[in-house]
Chains A and B, each alone.
Chain A
């Protein structure tokens, strides 16, 4: 199955810093989703993007659907300790209805 390229694999930052991560695909996607997973729990949806160029915010989180439709970015501003977790991108193309493809995740650690 298709796997998205998500980077970085891990990040260690100080509380208050901004964070940026991204995902790229070899295929064009119609939808990009960003999830956060806490240890031992299921992923929780943070932001959904449906149009190329779309920029959407959810509190301190901002995500963008790349113009080429092959990439997406997630930014977290002024990080806090509860931002710790694994962030996943997921995408879906038009020809694979019902199937989402996931990145390997970015492990975020925030030092107080």
Chain B
């Protein structure tokens, strides 16, 4: 089945620890995104990547890092510098920027909690 796979579904972080959230897509999409969702809030953009080996900061990038070594993969690391990491994290992707198709497709999310 084609789609966006996020893992794990639930993740717990100890204080001072870095954790990495996985996002893989087999849709052959160029662009990939990471959003953070807090209860009662909209989606806030953390990082996005429009092409392999390139990525840009979103609105709340502090305390996070990403890499885009392969087209299919866009892992997000939540570093110890992120003091309030408890949230629902959503990965998304969209087709090539050369088209006018702006539809964004989401994975099923990872719930990160602090121990």
> Can you name the residue of chain B whose Cβ is closest to the Cβ of A1?
B59
A90 touches B104 (CB 8 A): yes
Assign chain B's interface to a size class. 20 to 34
B42 touches A42 (CB 8 A): no
Known: A3-B42, A98-B97. A45 touches B90 (CB 8 A): no
- CB neighbours (8 Å) of B4 from chain A are 42
Flag A68-112 by CB within 8 Å of B: 1 or 0 each. 000000000000000000001010100001111011110000000
B108 touches A48 (CB 8 A): no
Known: A33-B104, A42-B90. A88 touches B43 (CB 8 A): yes
Asked if B68 is at the interface of the complex by the 8 Å CB criterion, the answer is: no
Distance between Cα atoms of A32 and B107 in the complex (Å): 20
Within 8 A of B (CB), among A7-34: 30-31, 33
- CB neighbours (8 Å) of B59 from chain A are 1
- CB neighbours (8 Å) of A104 from chain B are 40-42
- CB neighbours (8 Å) of B88 from chain A are 40
Distance between Cα atoms of A104 and B42 in the complex (Å): 4
- CB neighbours (8 Å) of B21 from chain A are none
- CB neighbours (8 Å) of B100 from chain A are 50
From A3, A6, A33, A98, give the contact of B103 (CB < 8 A). Answer: A33
B104 touches A105 (CB 8 A): no
A8 to chain B, nearest CB (A): 13
B12 to chain A, nearest CB (A): 16
A88 touches B42 (CB 8 A): yes
A102 touches B109 (CB 8 A): no
From B97, B102, B106, give the contact of A48 (CB < 8 A). Answer: B102
B109 touches A40 (CB 8 A): yes
A-B contact pairs, 10 of them (CB 8 A): A1-B58, A1-B59, A31-B102, A40-B111, A45-B103, A45-B104, A48-B103, A102-B43, A103-B42, A104-B41
Q: B-side interface residues toward A, CB under 8 Å?
A: 4, 6, 31, 40-45, 48, 50, 58-59, 88, 90, 92, 94, 97, 100, 102-109, 111
Shortest beta-carbon contacts, A-B, top 10: A42-B106, A1-B59, A104-B42, A102-B42, A102-B43, A31-B102, A42-B108, A43-B106, A42-B109, A92-B102
